[in-house]
Structure 1
Amino acid sequence: MDNMSDLQKSFVKARLAKLPPDLPFLNESDENSKFGSTAEEDGDSSSTSSASSNATIMPSPSKGLFFKQASTGSSRKDPSKSLSWSEFYSQELFLEEDVDDLHIVHHAYITPPSKSGPLFVTHHGAGSSGLSFAACATEIRKILPDAGILSFDARHHGSTTVQSSSGEAKAPNYKLDTLSRDVVFVVRETQVKMGWQELPDIVLVGHSLGGAVITDVAKNGKLGSKVLAYAVLDVVEGSAMDALQSMDTYLSTRPTKFASLSSAIDWHIRSRTIRNNISARVSVPSLLKEEEDPSDPSRPWVWRTNLAETKPFWEDWFIGLSRKFLEAKGGKLLILAGTDRLDKELLIAQMQGKYSLQVLPSAGHFVQEDQPAKTAGFLVDLFKRNDRGSLVLPPKVGDILAARAMEKGVNQ
């Protein structure tokens, strides 16, 4: 055990030595180039531990709760004002299906790929929504304009609705194989809705719970050879299982109601649950709903997703994740907010070059929200490394000899 500890320390030092110097928190020209910077570093850019791989991280006591407001233009004077999904995606889809005595309307956001561009399919974590990838989606298209992004709300999340066909109340089904099936349905139904003769090349991207889901999809192969690669964001089996022990405590301390959407956005920023103001302003509103008959009229906004109902499924999501991640076909990328999240199996596999690892030490658990530009760069690189269309194979020896013989004959 001591030897592994020394090995891990050496690995961490080697990885961190290759990282670029930390840049000021949310004051990077590339991080919010579309909207402008909204916050500055508070002096501590180290990664906090994932208190949950299901929802949000618990704010570290060592972190400052208030950020310094940077100077912005007149259009950005209110740092708590909601932003519309339409600033990040071109369309929204409502995909209906009847399955298991349920009528489900899957809600998704999409910017279709153009030409032969790839489709990045994103799956959010528990308690979140498809809009957690909104800022990252914009950054992906800045780097790769032909790329498409499909970000959907999982069942009982965001604007996806689930109703019992019989009218009887049913407990939510969050089993891993059920969520994986939903991904395949949404992708296939999107193909029909968009009129694509065949699916574009796909890069699967999953954050937290979503990482477990897209890894399962990649492993079961139900999207076929169109899946070029997959990326898992800030979740590994070992640390996820450990973090589950503190979830009850986290849920008991998290606010249950808010006075307004603005106050909810403000809480996410102040608590450093989300460290990017732009991303918080587009993603947080989709996490809440206004009660029709609120028990507390002064705080009518409540969470859309009851995270306590997901508790029976937590172990099902993450047991065996590392093995599946390493065994599934396709390019593999793991993006973490800190190397402390690596478990032994993944640490050894990374040293053997079985997957690519990127670390964002200045991000919290929501790496794609905290650092959308950097995350997008890693995802585009993953696609480019696995893009079959860009591969130039060397000619066969027989073809070379035949060409030389033909050339010789012409010259004679």
Structure 2
Amino acid sequence: MSDLHKAFLQRVKKRESELGLSSLEEEEEEENESGTGVAGSTPRKSTTNKIDLNILSEYKQFKTTQFVTEEYSRGSSVFQTYFKKSKNPGPVLVCGHGAGSSSMTFAELCRNISDETLSVFLYDMKGHGGSHGGDKDFSLDTLVEDFHFVLEEFVSKHHPLGIFLLGHSLGGAIFAKYVHKYTSDLVRGLILLDIVEETAVTSLNVMPFFLEKLPKSFPSISEAINWHMNSLLFNQQSARLSVPDIFNLDAMTWKMDLKQTEPYWETWFTGLSNNFLSFPKAKLLILAAHETLDKKLTIGQMQGKYELVVFNNSQRSGHFVHEDLPKHVALRVEEFICKVYSPEKYMKDHLGIVPKWGGKIT
């Protein structure tokens, strides 16, 4: 075979490989010709395996070094929790993820929190992340009761000085319904990430089409991350920590089958705006980009009932704004919490103002 012929075949095989068309037989022939002598093991596959091992090592190390993990059991349900305690006394930021996600969606956000008085507590919704067991009831009321149990357990074990709730998507709906149903002096503020009732309810109409096109599995964790980067996320560093947590890594299948939740979708976001606006304490709504607020939120914003932050950066952020722009979100969340929890500290650290009249700011 001439060198020109070999070069031509290599170009063809490279193009087929890029399109996912190269066969195992062709790969073996290429390996034998190149003198590797190892059937089914190409340099590309070896490189991919090394990348996957690095991703999984980084993911596991992050979880074990950044958090104290605990399991809270309630009947047949076991909830996985993660606690990152601050160096100095202060409030706790409690984060709730959305449907199909997990606690590790907040991994980069946690890493970018610089306030040494702010602790972080995460939990996996049932059927998600490291949580397991329990029934298949994913109605909003049931999810609220699950969270109520988890928070009560956390409070009894760790005795926080104050709590701020931060919920993304469905997690935001759970927290808004929780503060509407339960009154707690410990809960000082509520933060919603990229969730508006009207938009969320409308988006459920296209959810079945999205789920139908969802790959059932992936050949590797790196391929799963690539899919997320092409479909949902913009920050690969965050994806390397969040994506492994939503897969059964032995088979690379999804831990959570969102089709199981379909009977409960209509309960998830109905009343969200009312629940959010009726919370009598500090409130913050963070959106990834400009979108139409529903009528209630628009009126509430005009009346100054809550703070609104919009990251108008559509090229760099999407629905998972806390993953795409973790530094920006962390900074804004810290500022909000500091202003509510420690007004004097906020004026000094964020505004550069030191009151001269003495006394405390309320």
TM-score (norm 2): 0.76
Q: Deviations over 1:149-208 (max 9, x none)?
A: 111110010110114xxxxxx5x1112122112222212212344xx3x33211100000
- After TM superposition, give the deviation of residue 311 of structure 1 in Å: 1.1
1:151 corresponds to? 122
The answer (yes or no) to whether the contact 1:219–1:329 under 8 Å persists in 2 is no
2:216 corresponds to? 256
- After TM superposition, give the deviation of residue 121 of structure 1 in Å: 0.3
2:72 corresponds to? 95
Q: Structure 2: how far apart are the matches of 1:181 and 1:90?
A: 24
The structure with the greater share of residues assigned to helix is 2
3-state SS of paired residue (1:339): coil
- After TM superposition, give the deviation of residue 339 of structure 1 in Å: 2.2
- After TM superposition, give the deviation of residue 134 of structure 1 in Å: 0.8
Pair 1:394–1:86, CA change in 2 (3 A): same
Q: Structure 1: how far apart are the matches of 2:318 and 2:359?
A: 47
1:49 corresponds to? none
3-state SS of paired residue (1:225): coil
Pair 1:221–1:115, CA change in 2 (3 A): farther
3-state SS of paired residue (2:291): helix
Larger radius of gyration: 2
One-letter amino acid matched to 1:229: G
Q: Is 1:302–2:261 an aligned residue pair?
A: no
**Residue 282 of structure 1 is aligned with which of 235, 241, 246?**
241
1:135 corresponds to? 108
2:91 corresponds to? 118
Select the structure with the greater relative contact order (CA < 8 A; seq sep ≥ 6). Answer: 1
- After TM superposition, give the deviation of residue 114 of structure 1 in Å: 4.0
Pair 1:268–1:118, CA change in 2 (3 A): same
Q: Structure 2: how far apart are the matches of 1:257 and 1:87?
A: 24
What are the within-5 Å matches in structure 2 for residues 121-270 of structure 1?
A: 121-140=94-113, 142=114, 144-163=115-134, 172-193=136-157, 196=158, 198-222=159-183, 224-270=184-230
Q: Deviations over 1:31-85 (max 9, x none)?
A: xxxxxxxxxxxxxxxxxxxxxxxxxxxxxxxxxxxxxxxxxxxxxx959823325
Pair 1:85–1:119, CA change in 2 (3 A): farther
One-letter amino acid matched to 1:278: Q
Q: Structure 1: how far apart are the matches of 2:233 and 2:79?
A: 25
Q: Is 1:360–2:311 an aligned residue pair?
A: yes
1:385 corresponds to? 339
One-letter amino acid matched to 1:183: F
Q: Is 1:323–2:268 an aligned residue pair?
A: no
3-state SS of paired residue (2:82): strand
- After TM superposition, give the deviation of residue 352 of structure 1 in Å: 1.8
- After TM superposition, give the deviation of residue 113 of structure 1 in Å: 3.2
Q: Structure 2: how far apart are the matches of 1:176 and 1:352?
A: 28
Percent identity for Structure 1 against Structure 2: 35
Q: Structure 1: how far apart are the matches of 2:72 and 2:82?
A: 11
Q: Structure 1: how far apart are the matches of 2:311 and 2:292?
A: 12
Q: Which runs of 4+ in 1 moved over 4 A?
A: 77-80, 388-396
The answer (yes or no) to whether the contact 1:235–1:341 under 8 Å persists in 2 is no
The answer (yes or no) to whether the contact 2:273–2:296 under 8 Å persists in 1 is yes
One-letter amino acid matched to 1:81: I
1:34 corresponds to? none
What are the within-5 Å matches in structure 2 for residues 77-88 of structure 1?
A: 78=51, 81-82=55-56, 83-84=58-59, 86-87=61-62
2:285 corresponds to? 334
Q: Structure 1: how far apart are the matches of 2:202 and 2:289?
A: 15
Pair 1:290–1:373, CA change in 2 (3 A): closer
- After TM superposition, give the deviation of residue 390 of structure 1 in Å: 4.3
3-state SS of paired residue (1:305): coil
The answer (yes or no) to whether the contact 1:155–1:162 under 8 Å persists in 2 is yes
- After TM superposition, give the deviation of residue 342 of structure 1 in Å: 1.5
Q: Deviations over 1:319-346 (max 9, x none)?
A: 1110110001221010111221421221
| Structure 1 unaligned residues grouped into runs of 5+ | 1-76, 164-169, 292-299, 397-412
Q: Deviations over 1:285-338 (max 9, x none)?
A: 1111146xxxxxxxx311110101111111211111101100012210101112
1:15 corresponds to? none
One-letter amino acid matched to 1:371: L
- After TM superposition, give the deviation of residue 252 of structure 1 in Å: 0.9
TM-score (norm 1): 0.67
Q: Structure 2: how far apart are the matches of 1:225 and 1:308?
A: 37
One-letter amino acid matched to 1:364: G
| Structure 1 range deviating more: 337-346 or 122-131 | 337-346
Q: Structure 1: how far apart are the matches of 2:307 and 2:92?
A: 20
One-letter amino acid matched to 2:55: K
- After TM superposition, give the deviation of residue 394 of structure 1 in Å: 8.1
One-letter amino acid matched to 1:322: S
